[in-house]
Amino acid sequence: MTFWDEVLANFLGAVFAGSFFVLLYRIVLWFLRATDVIVGYNWSWEGTQFHPNFDIRNRSWTKQYLLANIAYTRNNGKEVVWFDNKSIWDKELPPNSIRHISNIAPVPKITSLAQCTELEITVRLQTGRFFWLTGQGPSQLRMGKLQHAAFWLREKIERSAIPFEG
């Protein structure tokens, strides 16, 4: 092998190794971002006025989020019931915290618990990120298979003695 062949081989090896580590870093960042916020909810009522209560957990150690609004829909988001732009607007989610938010405005046109379970609730952050919750029961976060696997993996890591963030 000549001198220039060795230089080219070393250069390409360094480029591929650097690309691999950058890709691995991006995957870890996606993993942490995809699993850092968990939204749970249940329903409360006063007479015939029903409203959700949220338990929102920010598991990130460094990132603070601001809540934006709530969308109530049916039929996989095709039928809009109502948008609540005031109840959670500008509420902060500090790093490594859990917020219980119970002073949510009642949902118009919803008068029974059976109607509540038909609703899909979307909680949005001010960054545009959203969490789609179904009415199948309390704390039913809708997610794809990849995100479900990511949550399962993060749960396993958190239960072990390995701190993943810090």
φ, ψ of residue 9 to 5 degrees: the values are: -65, -45
Res 107: pLDDT: 93
Whole-angstrom distance, CA of residue 100 vs CA of residue 42: 11
List average pLDDT for each run of 10 residues in the chain, which is 166 residues long: 91 96 89 81 90 90 91 89 92 92 91 87 90 63 70 78 60
- DSSP alpha helix (H) spans, the chain: 3-34, 113-118, 145-159
Res 93: pLDDT: 93
CATH topology for 37-159 is Immunoglobulin-like (2.60.40)
Res 9: pLDDT: 93
AA identity, residue 127: T
Whole-angstrom distance, CA of residue 81 vs CA of residue 90: 22
Res 62: pLDDT: 86
Instruction: Indicate if the alpha-carbon torsion angle 24, 26, 31, 36 is positive or negative.
Output: positive
Res 140: pLDDT: 53
Instruction: Indicate if the alpha-carbon torsion angle 159, 42, 53, 36 is positive or negative.
Output: positive
Of the chain, the end-to-end C-alpha distance in Å amounts to 47
Q: Spell out the domain ranges in the chain.
A: 1-34, 37-159
Res 143: pLDDT: 62
**Secondary structure of residue 166 in the 3-state scheme:** coil
